[in-house]
Amino acid sequence: MSEEEKHKTDESRRQFLKNSGYFAGGLVGGGIIGSVIGWQIDDTNETKNQNEQANQGNGPNFNRALKFFKNRGVFERLAVATERIFPEDDHGPGAIDLGVPYFIDHELAGDYGNNERIYMSGPFHEGTPYQGFQSRLRRKEIFMEGLRVIESESQKEFDDSFVNLEGEQQDEILAKFANDEVNLRGVQASTFFGLLREATLAGAFSDPLYGGNTNMEGWRMKEFPGSQMSYMNEIENEDFVEMEPRALYDHLH
């Protein structure tokens, strides 16, 4: 990589992290990510505001911690991949600002990651495309395997870490997964990618109780008002009705 290219990559990394604000908690304590990618926190206020908002002003958002991923590098890789799937744009935040990586972390640690409701008895065969999910792996294993190969493919293709690549390069890598052009052990690459995509959307649009859809921003983008109790008075309205969204939180508080 030429100096110029490297510079560009650093610029885009900086841009991405500034927008995200979600690494802050770790970085303040002199985090590994900071040293790995050579980035120092430069706008603590912006970050703090976001965390406070997410937590209704009651100090830090303690939900922003990891219960599945052990290695920050892997978690960051996941985060970057979700942002490519659902990027920030004029409409509003992308996956990272919506808390999607935390959502996925939390889900992988529980029923979802453990395939709790999936039939897991063998024998296992690949099957036809019409026979659906046939992997012997649990979703948490599929994510780990997928994220591992994302990194090895990035090294192979571009001689650099996935998180350091240009956006288009990252897309190239992800497209290989979507199109089954790489091999994973125990699962098809497209199955992993399908899960990643689905989980990203679920994190962007599920009730904020799950750790994603920060401040209901996902819902706001779609003008979806969340959990309203009744549309009796609006259902016949000729015009589009804009409403402040409500979350399940309101059912208890």
In the complex with other proteins, the residue whose CB is nearer, 46 or 111, is: 111
Q: Which of helix, strand or coil describes residue 89?
A: strand
Does position 236 interact with other proteins (CB under 8 A)? The reply is: yes
Helix axes 72-85, 139-158, angle to 10 degrees: 80
The 14-33 site mask, x for binding other proteins (CB under 8 A), equals: --------------------
Angle at 142 between CA 156 and CA 120, to 5 degrees: 150
Phi, psi of 194 (to 5 degrees): -60, -45
Query: Can residue 100 be called a binding residue for other proteins (CB under 8 A)?
Result: no
Q: How many residues line the site for other proteins (CB under 8 A)? A: 63
Residue span 213-232 as binding mask against other proteins, x where in contact by CB under 8 A, dash where not: -----xx-xxxxxxxxxxxx
Range 4-12 contact pairs with CB under 8 angstroms and sequence separation of 24 or more: 8/166, 9/160, 9/164, 9/165, 9/166, 10/38, 12/166, 12/167
Residue 116 lies near other proteins (rule: CB under 8 A): yes
- Is residue 179 involved in binding other proteins (CB under 8 A)? no
Nearest approach in angstroms of CB 224 to other proteins is 5
**Residue 21: how many other CB atoms lie within 10 Å:** 22
Is 188 in a helix, a strand, or coil?
Answer: strand
129 forms part of the interface with other proteins (CB under 8 A)? yes
At closest approach, how far in Å is the CB of 39 from other proteins?
24
Query: For residue 92, which phi and psi values (nearest 5 degrees)?
Result: 150, -165
Query: Which residues here bind other proteins, judged by CB under 8 A?
Result: 84-87, 89, 91, 94, 111-112, 115-121, 123, 125, 127-134, 171, 174, 178, 197-198, 200-202, 204-207, 209-210, 218-219, 221-232, 234-238, 240-241, 248, 251
